[in-house]
Amino acid sequence: MSCWLIKSEPATYSFQDLWRDKKTFWNGVRNYQARNNLKTMQKGDDLLFYHSGEDKAVMGTAQVLCAFYPDHTATDGKDWVMVDVKPVKKFEAPVTLAQIKANKKLQKMILIKQSRLSVMPVTQLEFDEICKQGTV
């Protein structure tokens, strides 16, 4: 079982949208590193749902519903993929990027170093720590 962080612009697709939809397919990833992470995801993996832009915070958790399959919304003929996800837990208090940066246990997160990557692995410890902060 692995843990991941997935990023979205709230204006494009927010955690509230996922909460409302109950389920969605995570399409539109057009970056090889992010895609390779999608390909590694297994059913049941845990996800942190991060809002970039305005919020810059982890809004809650979600779960992977199935392994990757072709992203049929891709039109360039390249090998892009997507997975299905469902919401799990809405944080009472979103965990902001500033909080993450201020937390000694979270210094190694890729989120801090590689701000442009939209799908990245996180450790179980990091996942638990952020959940703890989100549910004060």
Partner DNA sequence: GCCAACGTTGGC
For residues 135 and 17, the answer to whether their CB atoms sit within 8 Å is no
Q: How far is the CB of 59 from DNA (least distance, A)?
A: 13
Task: Give 31 or 123: the residue with its C-beta nearer to DNA.
Answer: 31
Residue 73 binding DNA, by CB under 7 A: no
Residue 33 binding DNA, by CB under 7 A: yes
Residue 52 binding DNA, by CB under 7 A: yes
| 22 backbone dihedrals φ, ψ, rounded to 5° | 75, -20
Give the closest residue to 133 by CA, choosing from 82, 106, 85, 94.
94
Residue 32 binding DNA, by CB under 7 A: yes
Quote the CA–CA distance of 107 and 31 in Å, as a whole number: 24
Binding stretches for DNA (CB under 7 A)? 7, 9, 31-33, 52-53, 56, 97-98, 101, 113-116, 118
